[in-house]
Structure 1
């Protein structure tokens, strides 16, 4: 098995060296894929993190939004097999959403810097694919851990594309910018004109779609954006923040990942837009106006 994976990686590296920059970004499904994105995480490892909900209710809520891309349902631990509960929840939610929006795609969150060798990462991706039949991947580069090597990222991108799957991530890694299908930025930094200029330069330089997400790497600090969004702000403050992010999509050239069951606080509790006053109605209105 290890020899087979090593052979695949060798072929993948040869493939990467011969493709033109921007190959992945030209995939025709991107225009549809990024039209209406929602962030929805139901598990952190094997822990269910959406209080007061279950797979049928999560699926019904997401279906109301008619998304074209649901990101982040599962974020499995790197050394554990998926439980039957995780697998069943994923498929049940997927079926409910697809019944309302047949074009919707689903990813899985993978942390590449938790793997040492490309063959280990590819073996994990193959296992997850067999269990879930994925449409794509979101590479989450965990803060505070060692950087993922270029070989890891290149192998992950090559494997995803060999399966006709999209792949992107939340770090401005050169390999990902050149060969991935998107990059994800977040509001963990000041959202000002300087940041807008950085986004526009990034889009122009690499010709890659940019997605924008609420920061989820909470450190429970007084100025932490996840803590502020979930614990300090009231509903109307969250609404105003999301209105501004939705309104800026065209001029700033990004696609907002609307937070439905996201962000996640201290890896234990997901924000739930459906139980935050009229937030779900506000999200629908923003999507109708800007997406």
Structure 2
């Protein structure tokens, strides 16, 4: 198979100062993309800021012969999202790829969760992706081309204790993906999502021994494929971890039809309504 390269293309990777984002940025640059390495340089909970993490990744890329610039703007504000895209345009003249990867954690059992913990997580994960994507959208529409990758999570898709804020934000990214896949189709813009399972700064404390097999480098190949011009998928979600790749999809069961529906008839038919044996896949203009 022909090697997937990105010559003359420009990629923005948010949260690329470490972990998954770093791997994505380095691999895209290795394959010829010019990369904007965005990272606020904050702690896992979003506190603090420094450009040193982003610059360290840029130094790795340039030492290997690639081209990249560092950017320390916050995805959590409209101005920050616009500044990230402006930096790419100023340096390289265009944007072909956006990987929405930036994230923080503010975990707590729901009974203990505060509004500040919810707001902070949604601001980075969901509003952050919205802010950068909104800024890059007119660029991609004008050039009739774009590849966007969302970073969702098994927590949003399936649930996990103590992460109601994180799960809500991550599932919001899936809803955003489905809408933008429809709106972007006429302008050659695809948008997909990955649900990564990887050992990173955000997950190493909760993965324990299992994390040893979860190298972040094993997630990046899926991102690279979804970012490539030859990828025709849109509105797809892929679970990726430890070398395994699976599609996650939203399905609708055959269900029942009853124009005289009552609560009692629902109760009587609930097993048939729930039966997943026959289903239709939903999501996006070409999904399924």
| Bin for the TM-score computed over the shorter chain | 0.3 to 0.5
Q: Normalising to structure 1: TM-score of the pair?
A: 0.34
Q: Normalising to structure 2: TM-score of the pair?
A: 0.34
Bigger CA radius of gyration: 2
